[in-house]
Homo-oligomer: A and B are copies of this chain.
Amino acid sequence: MRVLATAVLLALAVPVAADEGMWTLDNLPRESLKQQYDFDPGAEWLQRSMKSAVRLAGGCSGSFISPTGLVLTNHHCVLGCVQQLSSAENDYVNDGFLAASRGEEQQCPGMEINQLEKTADVTERIRTATLGLSGKAYNDAKKAEQSKIESECVGDDSKTSRCDIVELYQGGVQHLYQYRRYQDVRLVFTPEYASGFFGGDPDNFNFPRYNLDMALLRVYQDDKPLQPEEHFAVRAEGAKEGELVMTLGHPGSTQRLLTVSQLETQRDTVLPFRLMFAAEMRGILRQFGSQSEENARIAQSDLVSVENGFKARSGMFRALLAPAVMAEKAEAEKALRDWVMADAGRREQYGDPWQEIAGVQQAWRDLYVDYSLVEGGLGFISQHVGWAETLVRGAEERGKPDGQRLREFAEAGLPAVRARLLAKSPMYPEYEKVKLGWSLSKLRELLGADHPFVREVLGKRSPEALAAHIVDNSKLADPALREQLWEGGAEAVAASEDPAIVLARSVDRFGRELRQRYEGEIQSVERRAAEQLAAARFALKGTSVYPDATFSLRLSFGTIKGWEEKGEPVAPFTTIDGLYARASDYDPYKLAPSWVEARPKLDMDARFNQVSTNDIIGGNSGSPLINAQGEVVGLIFDGNIHSLGGAFFMDGSVNRAVSVHPQAMLQALEKVYPAGHLLKEISVR
C-alpha cells in the first residue's frame, strides 16, 4: 500500500489537452497551456486570482470586482437569500432588488462567503496516521487525523478562519485548504426573476440564451464594506471568439474516475432513484405554487432547485445509457487492469481494486435508498426536522473528542454549523407540512409500511398527520429556542419533548446505523481501492491527470467557441435584440417591465450570453470567466445540454459553458435598473 505524493505527481506530469479538466492552482497543465495558448501564469497571477475568487458556502462561486467588497455572482445563487428577504409586501424575487445606497443593502440570512488564503499538502501526515489499518479502523483513524489537522489550522480563529481537508484523486492526495470566512454578506443588486431566469426551466441548459443571471453582493467586516486584498476588473468589451478564457471557481462534484461497476451503480440505482424522487417532488411543488401567487413565491426557489437538479441528472443518466460511453470506460479500465495483472510485482503492489470496488456495489445498491431517505434526509424534507437533527446529533457529537466526531461536527466546522442553525428565515407552516408530509410518504412507500423504522416514526399516524403534528407543535421555528438548545447541549436537548426533536432522535439512531454500514463496509473499501487505482494509473501512464471536482478552487481553460447541433452551427454569442424576439406575454418568456421600458435606450447589438469550451460543473455557478490578463470577460451560469454528461466524461466537441457577457451586465446596470452608483465602484476596463 502506498500513496502518491503530490510532488512526485507534479514532477512527472506530461501534457494533456488543456481544454479538459478542472485543475488545482498548484498543478496546472503548464506545458499544453504554453503550447496551445502561449500562456504561462506566474505566481503573482495565480495569487491574485486565488484571492479575487470566492466561494459561497451554499454551493456557488463568485469574485470580488471592486475595491469595496462587491462580489459578482449569479442571480440563481442568491435566490434563496432574496426569497428569505421577501415578503408578500416586498416581492424582491419577482421585482428584483437594488440598494440605492449602502444603508439599504440587506444582510442575507445565514449566507457565508469563503475566500481561499492558502493550501498545503497533508497527504503524508494522513498516510502515517492510517498506516496498516483497514475497514472501520482505517476510516476512524483517517477521520480523526483530518479533524485534528483542521482544528490545528483553525486554532482560536474559528470565527474568521475555516480549514477543510480536500481529498483529491479520490483520496490519493490530501490537501488542507484554509479560508477566510465572511458571514456578513449583504444583497446589493439582483434583477427580477423574469430577467435573471429568462426562459426558465425550458431554456435551462440550452443555448442560444438571454439570461441576466447576475447578482451583486457586498462583503462587510465590522459593519463596514470589506476592502479585499485583491479583486478583478471587468473587461467591458469581453473576449473575442477563439480567445483563451478561464473559469476560476468551485466545481462541486464530478465522478470521472469511477470504475465501471461504480458507474453502473449510478446508472441503475442512484440516478433512477434520484430522478423519480425529484420528478414527483417537482409535481408537488409545481401544483403547490399554482394555488396562489403567494404560494408561487414561497415554492419558487425550491422548484427551481429541483428542476435544475432533475435536468442535470437527466443528462447524467442519458450519458451513462449511451453504450459508447460505457464501452470506452470499460476499455480504459481493462487496459489498466491488464497492465497490473500482467506482472506479479504489480499485482502484489496494487492488488485488484476494481474487484474490491465491484465487490461492494451490490451492498451499496441495496443500502442506497434507505441511506438517502434517512441519513441523506430525503425522507424528512423540512426545516423543523433539519434543525432538530442538527441539535440532536450536534449535542451528541460535541460531547466527543474532536477526532472521534462525525466529520460535519468537527470543531473547525462548528461555527458554520451553528450559523446555519441559528439563521433567521421565514417559516411557511402550510408549505412545510406539504413538503414534510410528502417526504414522509416517500419514506413509508420506499422502506415499506411494515419497516420497523417506519413504524417507529409514524406509529399509527399517517405521514400527513405526523407532519401536521410536528409543524403545529414544534417551537423550533424560534431561533432563540434553537440557540438555547444548542448552547444547552446534550442535557437541554435530551430534556426537550419538542415533536421535531423526538422525531430527530429516531432519525439519528437509524441514520447512524446506516451510516456506519455505509462508511464501514462500502465507502472505506471504495476509498482504499481508489487510492490503489490512482497509484497504478500514475505508475502506468506517468501522466498528470486532474482530480475530480471537490467544491474547491479550480481553473479550467478554453476558448470562446460555438458548436454544431444536428449539423447546424450554433454561434458563440447572442445579442440583446434576440431577447426581445424571444419574449412573449407568458412566463418564463415574459419580459420584466424594466426591460420593456429600457428597450429604446439599449444597444441591440450588445452581446448578451456566450459559450466557451471550458470544463465546468455545478458549483461553478457565479465563476468569473477571465482572460489571460485576469480580467472578467464573462459570468458563468450554466452549461449547454451536452455538458450534462460532464459528471462522468468531457466531450470537448459539444460540451460548452454558458456565461453572461460583460456587455449585457454593464448595459443592464447602466440603462435598465439603472445602478450608476454601483457601476462607479466596479473596476471596469
Q: Which chain B residues border A89 with CB–CB below 8 Å?
A: none
A272 located at the interface, meaning its Cβ lies under 8 Å from any Cβ of chain B in the complex: yes
Say whether A585 contacts B202, CB under 8 Å: no
A92 located at the interface, meaning its Cβ lies under 8 Å from any Cβ of chain B in the complex: no
List CB contacts (< 8 Å) of A33-80 with chain B.
none
Say whether B283 contacts A445, CB under 8 Å: no
Report if A462-B317 is in contact (Cβ < 8 Å); known contacts: A280-B280, A284-B286, A449-B203.
no
B275, B279, B460, B589: the one within 8 Å of A586 (CB): B460
A584 located at the interface, meaning its Cβ lies under 8 Å from any Cβ of chain B in the complex: yes
Q: In the bound complex, what is the Cα–Cα distance between A465 and B272 (angstroms)?
A: 32
Residue among A268, A434, A585 facing the most chain B CB atoms (10 A cut-off): A268
Say whether A290 contacts B461, CB under 8 Å: no
Q: In the bound complex, what is the Cα–Cα distance between A282 and B445 (angstroms)?
A: 13
A429 located at the interface, meaning its Cβ lies under 8 Å from any Cβ of chain B in the complex: no
Smallest Cβ-Cβ distance to A460: which chain B residue: B584
Q: Which chain B residues border A100 with CB–CB below 8 Å?
A: none
The oligomer's copy count stands at 2
Q: In the bound complex, what is the Cα–Cα distance between A199 and B290 (angstroms)?
A: 30
List CB contacts (< 8 Å) of A62-107 with chain B.
none
List CB contacts (< 8 Å) of A439-480 with chain B.
444-445, 448-449, 460-462, 464-465
A438 located at the interface, meaning its Cβ lies under 8 Å from any Cβ of chain B in the complex: yes
A137 located at the interface, meaning its Cβ lies under 8 Å from any Cβ of chain B in the complex: no
Q: Which chain B residues border A438 with CB–CB below 8 Å?
A: 283, 286-287
Smallest Cβ-Cβ distance to A437: which chain B residue: B290
Tell me, rounded to whole Å, the shortest Cβ–Cβ distance linking A23 to chain B.
Answer: 34
A291 located at the interface, meaning its Cβ lies under 8 Å from any Cβ of chain B in the complex: yes
Tell me, rounded to whole Å, the shortest Cβ–Cβ distance linking A558 to chain B.
Answer: 25
Tell me, rounded to whole Å, the shortest Cβ–Cβ distance linking A100 to chain B.
Answer: 33
Q: In the bound complex, what is the Cα–Cα distance between A401 and B116 (angstroms)?
A: 77
Q: In the bound complex, what is the Cα–Cα distance between A282 and B314 (angstroms)?
A: 19
Tell me, rounded to whole Å, the shortest Cβ–Cβ distance linking A660 to chain B.
Answer: 20
A598 located at the interface, meaning its Cβ lies under 8 Å from any Cβ of chain B in the complex: no
A261-285 CB contact bits vs B (8 Å, 1 = yes)?
0000000100010011101111111
Residue among A199, A321, A464, A587 facing the most chain B CB atoms (10 A cut-off): A321
Tell me, rounded to whole Å, the shortest Cβ–Cβ distance linking A605 to chain B.
Answer: 22
Tell me, rounded to whole Å, the shortest Cβ–Cβ distance linking A325 to chain B.
Answer: 12
Tell me, rounded to whole Å, the shortest Cβ–Cβ distance linking A313 to chain B.
Answer: 10
B199, B276, B286, B288: the one within 8 Å of A275 (CB): B276
Tell me, rounded to whole Å, the shortest Cβ–Cβ distance linking A268 to chain B.
Answer: 5
Q: In the bound complex, what is the Cα–Cα distance between A199 and B461 (angstroms)?
A: 13
Q: Which chain B residues border A349 with CB–CB below 8 Å?
A: none
Say whether A434 contacts B290, CB under 8 Å: yes
A496 located at the interface, meaning its Cβ lies under 8 Å from any Cβ of chain B in the complex: no
A516 located at the interface, meaning its Cβ lies under 8 Å from any Cβ of chain B in the complex: no
Say whether B317 contacts A272, CB under 8 Å: yes
Q: In the bound complex, what is the Cα–Cα distance between A285 and B275 (angstroms)?
A: 18
Tell me, rounded to whole Å, the shortest Cβ–Cβ distance linking A463 to chain B.
Answer: 9
Q: Which chain B residues border A199 with CB–CB below 8 Å?
A: 449
B206, B277, B288, B445: the one within 8 Å of A448 (CB): B206
Q: In the bound complex, what is the Cα–Cα distance between A290 and B468 (angstroms)?
A: 13
B206, B445, B461, B586: the one within 8 Å of A465 (CB): B586
Smallest Cβ-Cβ distance to A269: which chain B residue: B321
A201 located at the interface, meaning its Cβ lies under 8 Å from any Cβ of chain B in the complex: yes
Q: Which chain B residues border A448 with CB–CB below 8 Å?
A: 202, 206
List CB contacts (< 8 Å) of A232-283 with chain B.
268, 272, 275-277, 279-283
List CB contacts (< 8 Å) of A132-169 with chain B.
none
B202, B203, B268, B584: the one within 8 Å of A321 (CB): B268
Tell me, rounded to whole Å, the shortest Cβ–Cβ distance linking A454 to chain B.
Answer: 9
Q: Which chain B residues border A282 with CB–CB below 8 Å?
A: 280, 283
Q: In the bound complex, what is the Cα–Cα distance between A284 and B286 (angstroms)?
A: 7
Smallest Cβ-Cβ distance to A311: which chain B residue: B445
Smallest Cβ-Cβ distance to A463: which chain B residue: B586
Q: In the bound complex, what is the Cα–Cα distance between A292 and B246 (angstroms)?
A: 53
Tell me, rounded to whole Å, the shortest Cβ–Cβ distance linking A67 to chain B.
Answer: 42
Q: Which chain B residues border A203 with CB–CB below 8 Å?
A: 449
Q: Which chain B residues border A465 with CB–CB below 8 Å?
A: 585-586
List CB contacts (< 8 Å) of A618-661 with chain B.
none
Q: Which chain B residues border A444 with CB–CB below 8 Å?
A: 202
Q: Which chain B residues border A321 with CB–CB below 8 Å?
A: 268
B201, B206, B275, B286: the one within 8 Å of A283 (CB): B286
Q: In the bound complex, what is the Cα–Cα distance between A285 and B282 (angstroms)?
A: 12
Say whether A586 contacts B317, CB under 8 Å: no
Residue among A277, A285, A290, A321 facing the most chain B CB atoms (10 A cut-off): A290
Tell me, rounded to whole Å, the shortest Cβ–Cβ distance linking A395 to chain B.
Answer: 32
List CB contacts (< 8 Å) of A286-311 with chain B.
286-288, 290-291
Q: In the bound complex, what is the Cα–Cα distance between A544 and B460 (angstroms)?
A: 51
Smallest Cβ-Cβ distance to A317: which chain B residue: B272
Smallest Cβ-Cβ distance to A365: which chain B residue: B321
Say whether B434 contacts A586, CB under 8 Å: no
Q: Which chain B residues border A268 with CB–CB below 8 Å?
A: 321
Q: In the bound complex, what is the Cα–Cα distance between A399 and B202 (angstroms)?
A: 40
Smallest Cβ-Cβ distance to A454: which chain B residue: B202
Which residues of A line the B interface, CB within 8 A? 199, 201-203, 206, 268, 272, 275-277, 279-288, 290-291, 314, 317, 321, 434, 438, 444-445, 448-449, 460-462, 464-465, 584-587, 589
- Sampled A-B contacts (10; CB under 8 Å): A272-B272, A276-B276, A276-B279, A281-B283, A282-B283, A283-B283, A287-B288, A287-B438, A291-B291, A465-B586
Taking A280-B282, A284-B287, A287-B434 as known contacts, 8 extra A-B pairs with beta carbons closer than 8 A to each other, sorted by chain A number, are A201-B445, A202-B444, A202-B445, A272-B275, A283-B285, A461-B584, A464-B586, A465-B586
**CB-CB nearest 10 A-B residue pairs:** A283-B283, A462-B586, A460-B584, A287-B287, A279-B279, A283-B284, A279-B280, A280-B283, A202-B449, A276-B279
